[in-house]
Amino acid sequence: MDSVLRAAAMYLVLLVVFRIVGKRTLSQITPFDMVLLLIIAESTQQALVGPDFSIVNAVLVIVTLVTIDIGLSWWRHRSRRVEKILDDMPLVLVDRGRPLQSRLDRERVDASDILEAARLQQGLERMDQIKYAVLETNGEISIIPWRAEPSPDRGSAPAGEVVGG
Amino acid sequence: MNRSDQGLQLDDGTAFHERMWRLRRVGRLGMLLFILLGVAGLMGRGPLSRAEVRDARGLRIVHERFARVEAPQTIRAQIPAPPAGAYQLAVSRDFLDRVRIESVVPEPVLAEARADRVIYGFARGPGPDPAVVTFHFTPNSAGLVRAGFGVPGLAPLTIRMLVYP
């Protein structure tokens, strides 16, 4: 019983801590963040198995963690509310070319982060070429550039054409 | 808010994000408070944790109020010199059943098992000085541990220790 309770408790603690930390931190893995994650993993491992290094105990811990994960995954699929709590929701950071500064501040995202995503994803050069920037649930920023709007007379504009800037 | 105008079909949940930002702020303050309480000793080993009990005969027990499972701990007992014979200290079974004694310094010359306690005997040196005995132990299980330390034949001093999981 002890092992099951330890595993469940550590799963819950890590879930809460990483939700408090915020999704942007998780997506930006610097070398120091990597070291921090390794230290967290090492600390967690000791709390999970305690002084019991038997194979049975390790299997019990692993099965408990996987079962909790499956259970939450099922619950997440059944409940939109649970899905939002566990996975968060996308957040618009740039709305029709206008950066939403209060949201950027709250998520600790800079204009330089958005421009970096814009360069990497779309090859854009300036902020005014960005129509929407969305902070996704995995912490990545997705960029939607301005494109020519489809005309009701002529059909869609040529793909890749960027308007503005 | 469901943004379906301008082509971005996305429910970015403004109210949800406001709630999560508030919760995240509370969570971060909670983490900071947890650290401060840890430094202060509420999780063991610190100013808030250190405690001492004594009686009129000179028996003095120094212990920690808070401990953690499988974390090394010490209890220091100052035993007044008896009129004759070896120094003796009775330790309650309630305590001995909940911990794993790693060592006793100095090593007792006698350990007499009774139904509700174990009486340790320590060699007596010249002079009437009190003896200082240190118990090095490790708590086995979480919960409230009550321990009685005393000179045989007299009412023991009771200490309480909360062991965290």
- The neighbour count for residue B158, using CB atoms within 10 Å, is 15
Among B21, B28, B165, beta carbon nearest to A106: B21
A90 and B10: CB-CB below 8 Å? Answer: yes
The rounded Cα A54 to chain-centroid distance in angstroms is: 35
How far is B62 from B65, CA to CA, in rounded Å?
10
Say which residues have a Cβ less than 8 Å from residue A87's Cβ, sequence separation at least 6: A76, A137
Buried b (16+ CB within 10 A) or exposed e, B47-72: ebbeeeeeeeeebbbbbbbbbbbbee
| Segment among A47-61, B17-31, B75-89, B105-119 with least mean pLDDT | A47-61
Tokens 């019983």 -> residue:
A1
B12 and A16: CB-CB below 8 Å? Answer: no
- The neighbour count for residue A29, using CB atoms within 10 Å, is 12
How far is B6 from B13, CA to CA, in rounded Å?
18
B31 and A131: CB-CB below 8 Å? Answer: no
Give the pLDDT of residue A44. 86
Residue B61 confidence (pLDDT) above 80: yes
Predicted confidence (pLDDT) per residue in A69-104, tens digit: 999 999 999 999 998 888 888 999 999 989 999 999
Say which residues have a Cβ less than 8 Å from residue A89's Cβ, sequence separation at least 6: A137, B11, B12, B13, B16, B17
CA distance B72 to chain A (A): 13
CA distance B58 to chain A (A): 39
CA distance B163 to chain A (A): 15
Amino acid at site A36: L
A17 to chain B: which residues are within 8 Å by CB?
A: 31
Helix (H) or strand (E) holding A17: helix A2-21
A16 and B24: CB-CB below 8 Å? Answer: no
Helix (H) or strand (E) holding A76: helix A55-78
A96 and B3: CB-CB below 8 Å? Answer: no
Residue B113 confidence (pLDDT) above 70: yes
pLDDT band, very low/low/confident/very high, at B111 (cuts 50, 70, 90): very high
Task: Give percent above pLDDT 70 in chain A.
Answer: 85
Give the pLDDT of residue A24. 67
Among B13, B24, B69, beta carbon nearest to A20: B24
Write down the mean pLDDT value for chain A: 82
Nearest CA in chain B to A46: B70
Amino acid at site A67: T
Tokens 């050069």 -> residue:
A125
Give the pLDDT of residue A32. 77
Give the pLDDT of residue B29. 94
DSSP letter for each residue of B73-117: EEEEEEEPPPSSS-EEEEEEHHHHTTEEEEEEESPPSEEEE-SSE
Task: Give percent above pLDDT 90 in chain B.
Answer: 70
A20 to chain B: which residues are within 8 Å by CB?
A: 24, 27-28, 31
B27 and A90: CB-CB below 8 Å? Answer: no
Give the pLDDT of residue B39. 92
How far is A52 from B108, CA to CA, in rounded Å?
31
Residue A113 confidence (pLDDT) above 50: yes
- Interface TM-score (ipTM) > 0.90: no
A92 and B16: CB-CB below 8 Å? Answer: no
Residue A155 confidence (pLDDT) above 50: no
Mean of pLDDT values over B114-129 = 86
Say which residues have a Cβ less than 8 Å from residue A142's Cβ, sequence separation at least 6: A117, A121, A133, A134, A136
pLDDT band, very low/low/confident/very high, at A114 (cuts 50, 70, 90): very high
Which position has the higher pLDDT, B126 or A144? A144
B20 and A88: CB-CB below 8 Å? Answer: yes
Q: Is the distance from CB of B114 to CB of B150 less than 8 angstroms?
A: no
Among B65, B49, B57, which residue's Cα sits nearest to residue B156?
A: B57
A84 to chain B: which residues are within 8 Å by CB?
A: 13, 16
Mean of pLDDT values over B23-32 = 92
Residue A45 confidence (pLDDT) above 50: yes
The rounded Cα B83 to chain-centroid distance in angstroms is: 32
